[in-house]
């Protein structure tokens, strides 16, 4: 018997309710009223199918994934960078996973977070929120050729598959520069330095170091030219790193030539910008001819950074006394070159810097001192060191003499070639520039040797004018500061405070 007819036959009042228009069917009555009144719904064969309980409920739908987007995935052979956002205010993001063909995660790392103001506007949020996520993965060789999938794991255990908005395969150098540019300009709620120290301590530093090692392995010389008569044993070997701006080569040699003969000197310019090599070789040839000196140009195949470029230049130098100098540093007065020449062959176990001036005549540098940054150290919960220039921005007091200082700037430093060789040169683990000059000074004093500032060694320094700044340099500076602090914090903490 039909279940509908059976219900109406058993309960005539329901048939009357349908006739009166109070309900539309026997099933509607049972679901809305009958089951709560203890009435029985009979199945098609007349057996009791339900008594006082509704039909089985459909299974509950799975929890909806939070709003999210994977905006970019950058790939190279051994590294992967993922960048995106997720609204995880109600189920926090616990990890970013790389999965291969199977469901098991091959790699899992906690997300690094940053602020996305565009997402805040999209979600109509009334307060700042770090919705952005990113992570840099080092891919093991065994996963290099296998299909890779990305997913988010939430605190609840739910996983969300990521579909890349932009999947870009880059060369190792392009990948490295793109990541450092992102790392240097991301927005946070809080201190960028403190967050960087925490991320680098958590394992990011090792991945960056391995990326940098891969780049270092590709460096080399693109061209080299020597102009003018090169002395077999020059009194002074000037070594200068050039990046982005070619104008200062000719100008610098011309300023030295104003005050002294340069026939017993050699100038070695190491070019970190391959696109400038032709103009640098042209200017070097002209300067060597006009000022009767030796000019050597070594053009590298990429931006190798301050440390590597200077190491290459010093390896090429013939003199025993090395002068590392920035391209935007010029003699302050005639006596500056006389003082520099007097140092030649007399500086064993001494690393000497000079007094540098800004264009307005105020002091830029009378040595450098290491200071633990109290504010950043409190935020980072570890010692964060900064390098300060003594008397920076103050008028010149005309004080003379030579005195010991904790460090001198790489804009101008003079040392003996044999001492440099024993120390192994500038540390090439620093990326691009920052802190390698301070590191060399500390390695010098760790040997029991002296770092001195000679106030008679006066030079102009048009700080920041001699090279260009690119976005990736800001990211490298965070890494270099972390590396310097990790390498030297213990020994600097034991040293007495500088006055």
Instruction: Give the distance from CA 82 to its chain's centroid.
Output: 15
CA–CA dist 88, 110 (Å, integer): 14
User: What's residue 63's pLDDT?
Assistant: 62
9 CB-near residues (< 8 Å, 6+ apart): none
> Average pLDDT in the 208-230 region?
95
Question: 313-344, pLDDT tens digit by residue?
Answer: 999 999 999 999 999 999 999 999 999 999 88
**SS3 of 353, please?**
strand
What burial class does residue 266 get, using C-beta atoms within 10 Å of its C-beta: 0-12 exposed, 13-18 middle, 19+ buried? buried
478 — pLDDT class (breaks 50, 70, 90)? very high
Q: What is the mean pLDDT of the chain?
A: 89
| Confidence grade of residue 52 (pLDDT, cut at 50, 70, 90) | very low
At 53 the pLDDT is 47
Look at residue 48 in the predicted model and tell me its pLDDT.
45
Work out the pLDDT band at 62, boundaries 50, 70, 90.
Answer: low
> Is the per-residue pLDDT at 166 higher than 60?
yes
Question: How high is the pLDDT of residue 398?
Answer: 82
Q: What is the pLDDT of residues 400-430, one digit of tens each?
A: 889 999 999 999 999 999 999 999 999 999 9
Closest among 466, 350, 464, 358 to 408, alpha carbons compared: 350
Residue 117 CA: distances (Å) to CA of 41, 71, 112, 333: 58, 15, 16, 52
Beta carbons of 497 and 396 less than 8 angstroms apart: no
Q: Is 103 left (phi over 0), alpha (psi -120 to 50) or beta?
A: alpha
Q: State the Cα–Cα distance between residues 119 and 129, nearest whole angstrom.
A: 9
CA 441 – CA 438 distance, rounded (Å): 5
Q: How far apart are CA 457 and CA 437, in angstroms?
A: 18
pLDDT of residue 499: 41
Residue 250 has pLDDT above 90, yes or no: yes
Band of pLDDT at residue 207, cut at 50, 70 and 90: very high
Most confident among 43-57, 145-159, 393-407 (mean pLDDT): 393-407
Residue 402, CA distances (Å) to 236, 247, 415, 456 in order: 20, 33, 15, 8
Strand partners for 42: 48
348 has pLDDT over 50: yes
Instruction: Tell me how far apart the alpha carbons of residues 412 and 238 are, in angstroms, rounded to a whole number.
Output: 10
Distances (CA, A) of 336 to 256, 327, 400, 459: 10, 16, 13, 7
Enumerate the domain spans of the chain: 3-51, 68-216, 221-494
Average confidence (pLDDT) over 258-271: 96
Mean pLDDT on 429-433: 95
Q: Which of these CATH numbers, 3.40.50.1220, 3.40.190.10, 3.40.50.2300, 3.90.550.10, describes 221-494?
A: 3.90.550.10
Region 344-355: mean pLDDT is 91
- pLDDT at residue 66 is higher than 90: no
Global confidence as pTM: 0.84
What integer is the mean pLDDT of 455-467? 90
With b meaning 16 or more CB within 10 Å and e meaning fewer, what string describes 47-70? eeebeeeeeeeeeeeeeeebebbb
Q: What are phi and psi of 103, to 5 degrees?
A: -80, -20
């Amino acid at each position: 018997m039909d279940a509908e007819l059976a219900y109406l036959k058993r309960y005539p009042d329901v048939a009357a309710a349908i006739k009166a228009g109070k309900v539309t069917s026997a099933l509607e009555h049972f679901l809305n009223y009958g089951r709560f009144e203890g009435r029985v719904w009979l199945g098609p064969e007349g057996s009791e199918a339900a008594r006082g309980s509704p039909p089985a409920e459909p299974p509950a739908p799975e929890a909806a994934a939070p709003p999210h987007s994977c905006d970019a995935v950058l790939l190279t052979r051994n590294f992967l960078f993922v960048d995106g956002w997720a609204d995880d205010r109600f189920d926090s993001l616990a990890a970013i996973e790389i999965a291969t063909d199977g469901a098991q995660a091959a790699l899992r790392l906690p997300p690094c977070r940053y602020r996305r103001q565009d997402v805040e506007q999209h979600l109509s949020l009334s307060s700042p929120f770090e919705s952005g996520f990113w992570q840099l993965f080092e891919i093991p060789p065994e996963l290099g050729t296998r299909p890779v999938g990305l997913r988010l794991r939430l605190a609840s255990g739910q996983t969300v598959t990521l579909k890349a908005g932009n999947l870009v395969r880059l060369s190792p150098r392009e990948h490295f520069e793109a990541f450092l540019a992102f790392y240097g300009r991301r927005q946070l709620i809080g201190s960028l330095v403190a967050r960087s120290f925490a991320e680098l301590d958590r394992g990011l530093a090792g991945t960056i170091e391995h990326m940098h090692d891969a780049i270092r392995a590709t460096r080399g010389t693109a061209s080299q030219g020597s102009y003018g008569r090169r002395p077999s044993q020059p009194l002074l070997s000037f070594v200068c790193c050039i990046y982005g701006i070619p104008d200062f080569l000719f100008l610098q040699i011309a300023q030295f030539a104003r005050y002294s003969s340069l026939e017993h000197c050699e100038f070695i310019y190491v070019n970190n910008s391959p696109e400038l090599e032709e103009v640098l070789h042209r200017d070097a040839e002209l300067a060597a001819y006009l000022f009767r000196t030796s000019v050597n140009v070594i053009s590298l195949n990429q931006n190798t950074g301050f440390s590597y470029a200077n190491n290459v230049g010093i390896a090429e130098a013939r003199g025993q006394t090395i002068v590392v100098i920035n391209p935007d540093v010029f003699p302050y007065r005639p006596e500056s070159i006389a003082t520099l020449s007097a140092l030649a062959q007399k500086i064993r176990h001494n690393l000497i810097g000079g007094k540098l001036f800004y264009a307005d005549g105020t002091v830029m540098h009378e040595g450098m001192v290491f200071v633990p940054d109290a504010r950043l150290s409190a935020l980072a919960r570890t010692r964060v060191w900064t390098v300060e220039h003594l008397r920076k921005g103050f008028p010149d007091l005309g004080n003379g003499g030579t005195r010991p200082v904790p460090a001198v700037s790489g804009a101008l430093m003079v040392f003996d070639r044999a001492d440099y060789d024993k120390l192994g040169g500038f540390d090439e683990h620093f990326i691009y520039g920052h802190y390698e000059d301070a590191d060399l000074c500390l390695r010098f004093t760790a040997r029991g040797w002296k770092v001195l500032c000679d106030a008679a060694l006066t030079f102009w320094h048009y700080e920041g004018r001699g090279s260009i700044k690119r976005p990736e340099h800001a990211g490298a500076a965070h890494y270099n500061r972390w590396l310097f602090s990790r390498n030297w914090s213990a020994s600097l903490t034991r040293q007495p405070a500088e006055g």
